[in-house]
């Protein structure tokens, strides 16, 4: 079946540095991908919708200059957390909408810890 791979699954970075998380659709093309974030004991919250070849659409309250999204190909979207701070520590998960249908597939998620 369709698979979405996220990398890295866990990452620890120092405060002030940037970290990139990749989201790949392995056997299907995805013009549209989504990035979610989940803080402990809270819901998965949509951060942004990533569209191949165009700028991402950010949800209200999400800083686009801090969370840089690049969707340069039909199988890859990246989320870069810039100048990371401890409060950015969270679970980040992506999903991809198959171009051949309306089905959405999720990645495994990435745990980010900023120390």
Residues that bind other proteins (CB under 8 A): 3-4, 6, 9, 32, 34, 36, 38, 41-46, 49, 93, 95, 97, 102-109
* Smallest separation, CB 14 to other proteins (Å): 26
Between 76 and 84, CB nearer to other proteins: 76
Between 84 and 112, CB nearer to other proteins: 112
Between 2 and 68, CB nearer to other proteins: 2
Between 13 and 46, CB nearer to other proteins: 46
Question: Which residues face 51 on adjacent strands?
Answer: 32
* Smallest separation, CB 28 to other proteins (Å): 14
- Identify which of 40, 36, 5, 25 has the alpha carbon closest to the alpha carbon of residue 99: 25
> What is the C-alpha to C-alpha distance for residues 56 and 58, in angstroms, rounded to an integer?
6
- Identify which of 48, 42, 49 has the alpha carbon closest to the alpha carbon of residue 89: 42
Phi, psi of 86 (to 5 degrees): -55, -30
């Amino acid at each position: 079946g369709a698979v979405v791979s996220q990398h890295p699954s866990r990452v620890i970075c120092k405060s002030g540095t940037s970290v990139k998380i990749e989201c790949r659709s392995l056997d299907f093309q995805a013009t549209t991908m989504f990035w979610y974030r989940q803080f402990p004991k809270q819901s998965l919250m949509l951060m942004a919708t990533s569209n191949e070849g165009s700028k991402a659409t950010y949800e209200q309250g999400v800083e686009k200059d801090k969370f840089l999204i690049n969707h340069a190909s039909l199988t890859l979207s990246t989320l870069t957390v810039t100048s990371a701070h401890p409060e950015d520590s969270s679970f980040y998960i992506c999903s991809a909408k198959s171009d051949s249908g309306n089905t959405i597939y999720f990645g495994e998620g990435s745990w980010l810890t900023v120390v």
